[in-house]
Amino acid sequence: MANVKPTLIQSYPMIGGDGPHSYLRNSTYQKAAIESVRAKTKEAILAKLNLQTPKFDLNLYKIADFGCSVGSNTFDAVQNIVETVKLKHQREKSKGKNQTHLEFQIFFNDQSNNDFNTLFKTLPPYYLDHQIFACGVPGSFYRRLFPKKSLHIGHASNALVWLSTTPKDICNRNTQAWNKNNILCTNLVDEVEKAYKKQFKKDMGAFIEARAQELLPGGLMIILGLCLPDGVQMIRTWKGVFYDMIGDCLIDMAESGIIKEEKLESFNLPLYFPRFSELKEVIELNGCFSVEIMEEVKHPMEDMPLSDGFIASMHRAAIHGVIEEHFGGGIIDELFDRFSKKSTRDHSIYSKASQKDMQYFILLKRKID
């Protein structure tokens, strides 16, 4: 067998378990996002899932949630899909068609170091009713995870801002793309933005291509996530302000000798908020899907002034892993203590943000080839 080097994929799952800092207890923002598209998802499936599609096995539906993490968010999203497929069948049944007993196989995907144990321990009771069968699928969604043409519906929420890796040049002080003391793409330096954009295009292209192979012709892919409206700069949004403040706290910690200067210089988050048009371009480039819906959906908490504490807890559950991996264990409490003092001293995150990011909802349908 040829000696093929596997692609190195960085993996930083959310904090597992059900402790005070866990994703399970700190993901109400993401939960609200899923809730905000519940009705839209239902309508979309009812309208776009065609039960007459050739090669669909109408007894067994295979549904995957990509980047499921831990907690009830993934169960909420999947349950809505399952209920809607059942409803669609009931409606067709009343027209005398598709009189089948439905079964569902649900694939929960995340990186292999996700806390699948907690996920399965908290599986809702309806998974025991012999109609819905759950399994875990470990691995990066930036590659193939399922056999060709095997899935009916794919779903991904709040997961695609995570890149497979941090663009290398932005961590290297000898390149023009070096991101100095910033820790993600702020959209202020062209070279940095180009490097992030290139990585995003590669990753998102790989995600779409893998799903194009796995979904049955006529199958649906639902994507919910965050991006920036065209022309908006990350640094001007409240999430950008938050990360900027975390970056400042890391600088303070380097100056106090708590972390090493070189470590800070080489640190960047593998997170990228694409512009809406970039996202559209990558999806369309693939050509295997028809874009049935691609639109902005208001996040229910968009106009609520979230407290700095809430914002910090929500992000802590997400970036804990990546911070500890780079700087070593034991700095996260100090970092967030400093953040808390800083945000109390300075004006609140919201007062510094002048532009808004954007939540998008996408429904793709695999073309019949």
Ligand X SMILES: C[S@@+](CC[C@H](N)C(=O)[O-])C[C@H]1O[C@@H](n2cnc3c(N)ncnc32)[C@H](O)[C@@H]1O
Report the interface residues with ligand X, using CB under 6 A: 13-14, 27, 30, 34, 67-69, 73-74, 109-111, 114, 140-142, 157-159, 162, 164, 318
DSSP secondary structure string for all residues of 125-152: GGGGSSSEEEEEEES-TTS--S-TT-EE
Give the whole-angstrom CA distance, residue 137 versus residue 214. Answer: 14
Query: Which of these, 309, 314, 299, lies nearest to 25 by C-alpha position?
Result: 314
Nearer to ligand X, 104 or 162 (CB): 162
- Which residue sits closest to ligand X, CB atoms considered? 67
Shortest spacing between CB 145 and ligand X, in angstroms: 8
Shortest spacing between CB 39 and ligand X, in angstroms: 17
Nearer to ligand X, 159 or 177 (CB): 159
Shortest spacing between CB 129 and ligand X, in angstroms: 24
Shortest spacing between CB 163 and ligand X, in angstroms: 8
Shortest spacing between CB 94 and ligand X, in angstroms: 33
Shortest spacing between CB 67 and ligand X, in angstroms: 3
Nearer to ligand X, 140 or 187 (CB): 140
Nearer to ligand X, 22 or 158 (CB): 158
Kindly give, in sequence order, each residue whose CB lies less than 8 Å from that of residue 154, ignoring residues fewer than 6 positions away.
63, 64, 65, 66, 211, 214, 215, 219, 220, 221, 222
Give the whole-angstrom CA distance, residue 309 versus residue 254. Answer: 23
- Which string of b and e fits 209-235 if b means at least 16 CB within 10 Å? bbbbebbbebbbbbbbbbbbeeebebb
Nearer to ligand X, 110 or 278 (CB): 110
Query: Which of these, 91, 95, 85, 92, lies nearest to 131 by C-alpha position?
Result: 85
Shortest spacing between CB 53 and ligand X, in angstroms: 26
Nearer to ligand X, 124 or 231 (CB): 124
Tokens 């706290």: give the residue.
249
Shortest spacing between CB 51 and ligand X, in angstroms: 27
Strand order in the sheet with 215-227: 132-138, 103-110, 60-66, 151-157, 215-227, 358-366, 289-296
Written as six digits, the tokens of 194 are: 């180009």
CA angle, 273 then 279 then 284, to 5°: 170
DSSP secondary structure string for all residues of 201-262: HHHHHHHHHHHHHHEEEEEEEEEEEEEB-TT--GGGSHHHHHHHHHHHHHHHHHHTTSS-HH
What's the one-letter identity of residue 289?
Answer: F
Shortest spacing between CB 89 and ligand X, in angstroms: 26
Nearer to ligand X, 140 or 186 (CB): 140
Nearer to ligand X, 84 or 109 (CB): 109
Give the whole-angstrom CA distance, residue 172 versus residue 191. Answer: 12
Q: Is 87 helix (H, G, I), strand (E, B) or coil?
A: helix
Nearer to ligand X, 41 or 158 (CB): 158
